[in-house]
A = this chain, B = another copy of it.
Amino acid sequence: MRETPLTERIEAILLIIDEPIGLVALAAAVGSPVPAVRQAIETLVDDYDGRGHGPRRGFELREVGGGWRLYVREDHDDLVAEFVGGQAPARLSQAALETLAVIAYKQPVTRSQVASIRAVNVDSVVRTLLARGLITELFADSETGAINYGTTDALLQHLGINSLDELPPISPLLDDGADGFDEGTIR
């Protein structure tokens, strides 16, 4: 059988996946070396954006949450939203957002550590974030048994970023002091 072009094989896989696919997994799926796949992905991105030979496409190829996936081009999101008529997604409360931020930067982190930074009880908010799949239980502390939480790949996708490194930097002061501070003191 004639070997089909790499870009075509990649497109076939992209059409059927329902979560982002990383370069290595993609390379394994299409049976080509990673550098070639990376190159082909770049070609496709350009192609869909109208920088190739054909016209710009109504969809685009984005790297989000550690992998590649086809998205409706942003210009058409309103059109598609109207078509699917989805209910407005439930917004996170300010408390949930702040708790999420603390967990994102401090992970792995226990609930009581988060609570001491936020100066309030965060139990119900943590449950909401868990139920939404934005955070996950990582492991239990070997001494105290307290569960440590971290963020999920789903969060990266929801933020439209590729790794935790893309979180905006926050003051370097945050990392010193606070860690060693024992939790009991804030009320």
CB-defined interface of A129-169 with B at 8 Å, one 1/0 digit per residue?
A: 00111000000000000000000000000000000000000
Q: How far in angstroms is the closest Cβ of chain B from A74?
A: 10
B57 touches A11 (CB 8 A): yes
A12 touches B79 (CB 8 A): yes
Find chain B residues with CB under 8 A from A59 CB.
Answer: 11-12, 15
A177 contacts B by Cβ under 8 Å:
no
Find chain B residues with CB under 8 A from A124 CB.
Answer: 18, 180, 183-184
Say whether, besides A8-B73, A187-B115, A13 and B83 are in contact (CB < 8 Å): yes
Known: A10-B58, A12-B59, A52-B54. 4 other contacts (CB 8 A): A7-B55, A12-B76, A12-B80, A52-B55
Q: Which residues of A are at the interface with B, using a C-beta cutoff of 8 A?
A: 4-5, 7-16, 18, 29-31, 47, 52-59, 70-73, 75-76, 79-80, 82-84, 86-87, 89-90, 95, 112, 115, 118-121, 123-124, 127-128, 131-133, 180, 183-187
